[in-house]
């Protein structure tokens, strides 16, 4: 068995654990493990080190792997919103390392904020074209200033489970392969709402149905809720008074921003 075969095994195992695509490729002078968003570098690196003790990925040992996580534009935008508006353009430039550190410490960023913050982050990403410095400058110009988004929602370090590989007796223990004894059932990792998120009526929470957990009691409530997400309320949009910045954008970007 070659080390390239070990790299393929590591890619498969780590991708299943992380539930994002994890590539393991040779980049002289070492093997580079890379992925976007998903778990933190420390979470995936620590799990690989633990699995390496059971010869997972042999003959490529975990000590020869170098881990590099990339941040998407959405992750960076969420980090800026968690911080809030800088006091000035100079403060925005100075805050960039703080935002980068927040990204590095926050696993699965798009699951760690409420829907309103995620929607605002998507707008910020689009207007800034995903540029971390431009996001800070836009927020520094926001009127009124954007307050910090509040607490980050809790979440697991790793959300997946290894299901495609089998080891003989003496292989990795169950706790290193995932959070449950088998493939997670549909919706099993999600807290099921007990009441309709539109009208408040009790929901049928029978978990035996499978599929995604219900959020609404009827199609009418679902439709009304979805329409509400696309309807701009003053409370939702008051921070996005980016008129000076938008006016300076090319015409196609002004269209996208609106």
Task: Output the tens digit of pLDDT for each of the chain's 258 residues.
Answer: 799 999 999 999 999 999 999 999 999 899 999 999 999 999 999 999 999 999 999 999 999 999 999 999 999 999 999 999 999 999 999 999 999 999 999 999 999 999 989 999 999 999 999 999 999 999 999 989 999 987 788 888 999 999 888 777 778 998 999 864 333 333 334 444 556 655 667 766 554 344 445 666 777 766 665 554 444 333 433 444 444 444 444 444 444 444
Report d(CA 18, CA 161) in Å as an integer: 8
Nearest to 17 by CA among 56, 53, 71, 74: 56
Helices (H), the chain: 3-18, 41-52, 73-83, 89-105, 115-128, 132-141, 174-177, 219-229, 234-237, 243-247, 251-257
Q: Tokens at residue 87, please?
A: 């006091």
Residues ≥6 apart with Cβ < 8 Å to 216: 196, 197, 198, 203, 222, 225
Secondary structure of 43-98 in HEC code, one letter for each residue: HHHHHHHHHHCCCCCCCCCHHHEEEEEECCHHHHHHHHHHHCCCCCHHHHHHHHHH
Instruction: Return the pLDDT at 178.
Output: 86
CB 140 within 8 A of CB 84: no
Work out the burial of residue 64: count CB atoms within 10 Å of its CB; fewer than 13 is exposed, 13-18 middle, 19 or more buried. middle
The reported pLDDT for the residue numbered 162 is 93
User: What phi, psi does 186 have (nearest 5°)?
Assistant: -55, 125
User: CB atoms < 10 A from the CB of 10, how many?
Assistant: 24
- The pLDDT value recorded for residue 10 is 96
144 preceded by a cis bond (ω within 30 of 0): yes
Per-residue confidence (pLDDT) for residue 188, from 0 to 100: 37
Task: Report the predicted TM-score, pTM, of the whole model to 2 decimal places.
Answer: 0.69
């Amino acid at each position: 068995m070659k080390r390239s075969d070990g790299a393929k095994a590591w890619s498969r195992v780590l991708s299943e654990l992380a539930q994002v695509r994890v590539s393991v490729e040779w980049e002289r002078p070492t093997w580079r493990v890379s992925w976007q968003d998903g778990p933190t570098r420390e979470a995936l690196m620590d799990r690989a080190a633990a699995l390496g003790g059971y010869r997972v990925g042999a003959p490529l040992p975990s000590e020869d792997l170098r881990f590099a996580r990339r941040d998407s534009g959405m992750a960076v935008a969420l980090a800026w919103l968690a911080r809030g508006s800088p006091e000035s353009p100079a403060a925005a430039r100075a805050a960039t390392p703080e935002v980068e550190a927040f990204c590095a410490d926050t696993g699965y960023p798009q699951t760690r904020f409420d829907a309103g913050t995620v929607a605002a982050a998507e707008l910020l990403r689009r207007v800034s074209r995903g540029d971390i410095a431009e996001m800070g400058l836009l927020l520094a110009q926001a009127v009124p200033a954007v307050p910090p988004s509040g607490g980050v929602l809790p979440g697991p370090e790793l959300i997946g489970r290894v299901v495609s590989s089998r080891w003989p007796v003496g292989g990795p223990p169950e706790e290193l392969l995932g959070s449950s004894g088998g493939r997670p059932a549909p919706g099993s990792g999600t807290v099921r709402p007990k009441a309709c998120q539109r009208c408040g009526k009790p929901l049928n929470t029978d978990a035996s149905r499978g599929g995604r957990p219900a959020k609404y009691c009827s199609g009418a409530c679902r439709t009304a809720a979805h329409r509400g997400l696309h309807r701009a309320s003053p409370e939702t949009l008051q921070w996005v008074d980016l008129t000076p910045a938008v006016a300076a954008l090319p015409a196609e970007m002004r269209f996208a921003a609106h």
